[in-house]
Structure 1
Amino acid sequence: MPSRSRVRPSRGCTTASASCRASGAERDVIPVVLESARVRLDVPTRADTAAIVAGCQDPDVARWTTVPQPYGAEHARSFVDALVGPGWASDREYTWAVRRSGSALLEGVIGYRTERRDVGFWLAPSARGAGLAHEALELVVAWAFEQGAPDVAWECYEGNTASAAVARAAGFSFTGNGPAVNPGRDGGPTPAWHARRRADGTAASDLSWPSASFAHSVP
């Protein structure tokens, strides 16, 4: 069974199953560690800089996300210091590193934003095709439901069939086409596929997934 810690950002370490980071932008953060038999999700740190840079330089990550291009170490450090730490501390956005169980290597990132109740993720090429994104998504969605979220939203730019396959396998209902909530790298609207999964298990829509989204499958 997956292992989850239900904790909130706090001024002190009062939860035995969590640990505090004591310096820099991560002080006062109690990270939530989510685990399954094959995947461990924990908080990215500056020690992950090289892996974050390598992942964000991948052409597919560049194509389907809004990470800066070209992507360098300064971007990775800013991501950790200005987004990850403050996101946890403010209770606005929770960001996890995706690692294989027993490995310290960051092979992806997954995040959940509390106001929009939406989730997004990317994986490095080394982690693709093994079902790791599916497991990571299931862990985060289950945790969000434990916190009381009635549903979780997902979106990807139209044509990102790999991400769509992961969302579909995780039980998300396709809710339609429309502009992405997150604008493109140029700041303009980008056509996107949208989906949602409800905590009560009912379908969020009776729409069918686009036929193009079946180009990938999840092992």
Structure 2
Amino acid sequence: AVRFRNPQHWLFDSAKSGGGMLSWLGCHYLDIMRFVTGDEIVSVSAEIATRSGEDIDVEDVATLIVRFASGAVGSLHVGYTLALSGSGYHNKSGYDTYAGFNGGSGRMYWRAPGAPTSLFVETVHDDWRDAPTREFTYTLGETPAYGGAAGEEFMRDFIRAAQGSGQPPAAGVDALQVARIVEGAYTSSREGRRVEIQLP
């Protein structure tokens, strides 16, 4: 809930942050959609609102329907909608986080971080006939850094790439595409129409 996250914080001021829940957290899931599918989002339809009752001028809830270049359709719902959620990034009340990808031959999904973290995969592919459902479990190292051990490794890779040693973990074009999708979602909600997304 917004009230536990300091509604006076600059993140809840559109003049300073440029947007709310979609632009600062939902953007990561749009990036995941592009990365996992290897496909580009070509259009977005969105409904975006501020429903917390707090004195903020950015969205605290957003729902998007996206279409990919392949014709696949996806959805994203983000929001500060848990009444008893705690504050900060190490929320002891937990998160209601789920990412899933469904296709004609199977699906994979991941739920909010816990210890250990698991990725669940199901498929009808012949190679998996004897074990069509699998769980891949991994444990991330505990650190106080933003994003934990994975966040630290991301920053190390970024710094190495900036120093000319290797590729960055995410390229500028990835950030640009996600920004285009987010801005397209804002336009869609404001104008009540589907918005086409410029491809890289």
TM-score, normalising length from structure 2?
0.24
Structure with larger RCO (C-alpha < 8 A, sep 6+):
2
Name which one, 1 or 2, has greater alpha-carbon Rg.
Answer: 2
